[in-house]
Structure 1
Amino acid sequence: AASLPDLPYDFGALEPVLDGAIMEVHHQKHHKTYVTNFNAAQEKYAEAELKGDYEGMIALQPALKFNGGGHVNHSLFWKCLTAPKDYALPEGELLAMIDRDFGSLSAMQDKFTASTVAVQGSGWGWLGYNKATGKLAVTTTANQDPCITTGLTPVLGVDVWEHAYYLQYKNLRPDYVKNIWKIINWKEVSSNLRKAM
């Protein structure tokens, strides 16, 4: 069964970019609920499979995708963030690939910010690795759809559901996405890229 991962920092560690109260509710309530519902859907799916209940199995697909996506997306998101005091710019192969595929780090950030801010309703912004081309690309997904559904392996994800920022930023999603660059854990993103390759 899936389990709620511990955060790699205290709830308040990302302040002032992300308020500790937001982080606590986001992790302890939202992510925990995805895990609980994903496990429940998996159990029901296994029961339906044992009975040969194909309609029941098909009917559970949306719950598996939504809650399973919520779990895998958030599990990646938490690790992609770091305390402002620990922030360091990307380097090495990751930076070289960003420069090659986008022109510069700031150009990639601008593209990522623009597409992520433009997500209608709830969703995610992603920097993903395309195994077929060997290149990095920016994409978005709706709701809790995982990045892998776009054909890219996620190396960085940013949650733009209102629960991720509304208590602090209200309706100003652009401010939230612009500020989150101050707490991206580029070492983790680099590690994700190495695993994706």
Structure 2
Amino acid sequence: MFKLPQLPYPKTGLAPLFNEEQMTFHYDKHHNAYIVNLNKFIETDPSLKGKSLEEIVLSSTGGIFNNAAQIWNHTFFWFGMSPVGTGGQPSAELAAQITKDFGSMDELKAKFVDGGVKTFGSGWIWLCVGTDGKLSLVSTSNAAVPFTGNGPVPILTADVWEHAYYVDYRNLRQKYLEVFWSQINWAFVSENFATKKVRDLTKTMV
């Protein structure tokens, strides 16, 4: 059984990106609902018991996949952000790769924001790394994750479901993504880039 992972900051800690009302709806209600739903599936399906969250994401379909993937996506999303002034900078290795693949940090930001704005309907915008070390941007719909089907490894994501930002930004998705960029936890992103492995998030919720 899984439990809601503890945030690495208080629910007021991401202001001005998100206010406490937004965090309460998104974390306490939406994210927790996926946990509750997945645990119900586990109770009735013995094949799921003992599996890590990542194993369930990679081996399931339908409702089980949707809930497991959304748990993984949201947990990764929370850990990829930080309070104002604490996010640091990309590691030297990541900064060099950003320059190589995108030209500059400003160009990466512009393409990340644009990719998130153009993600149709509900979904996620991801910065990923391939086995060759090359960075790429990936847009996914609904609960989909980049790493199924031997896809690239995520190192950063922004949630572009409307419930992620509507309390604070209404329909201004671009404004939300621009503020998001100013509160990235670059230590987390740099670590993901260095390992080039799908993040083990199971340990944060058992």
Which residue of structure 1 lines up, in the alignment, with residue 25 of structure 2? 25
Q: Distance in 2 between matches of 1:45 and 1:196?
A: 32
Which residue of structure 1 lines up, in the alignment, with residue 129 of structure 2? 129
Structure richer in helix, relative to its length:
1
- Which runs of 5 or more residues in structure 1 are unaligned? 49-59
Q: Distance in 1 between matches of 2:17 and 2:127?
A: 20
- Which runs of 5 or more residues in structure 2 are unaligned? 49-59, 198-206
Q: Which has the higher contact order (CA 8 A, sep 6+)?
A: 2
Q: Distance in 1 between matches of 2:2 and 2:195?
A: 21
How many angstroms does 1:96 deviate by? 1.0
Letter in 2 for 1:139: V
Q: Distance in 2 between matches of 1:15 and 1:34?
A: 25
Give the conservation status (yes or no) of the 8 Å contact 2:82–2:183. Answer: yes
How many angstroms does 1:2 deviate by? 2.2
Which residue of structure 2 lines up, in the alignment, with residue 138 of structure 1? 137
State yes or no: 1:115 paired with 2:112.
no
Letter in 1 for 2:44: K
Paired positions, count: 186
Which residue of structure 1 lines up, in the alignment, with residue 179 of structure 2? 179
SS of the residue corresponding to residue 157 of structure 2 reads strand
Pairwise CA RMSD of aligned residues? Answer: 1.8
How many percent identity over aligned positions? Answer: 37
Q: What is the TM-score with the length of structure 2 in the denominator?
A: 0.85
SS of the residue corresponding to residue 96 of structure 2 reads helix
Which residue of structure 1 lines up, in the alignment, with residue 160 of structure 2? 160
How many angstroms does 1:87 deviate by? 3.0
Q: What is the TM-score with the length of structure 1 in the denominator?
A: 0.88
Which deviations, in whole Å up to 9, do the C-alpha atoms of 1:36-74 show, x marking residues without a partner?
1112223333279xxxxxxxxxxx721111101110001
Matches within 5 A, 1:1-197: 1-46=1-46, 61-131=61-131, 133-149=132-148, 151-196=151-196
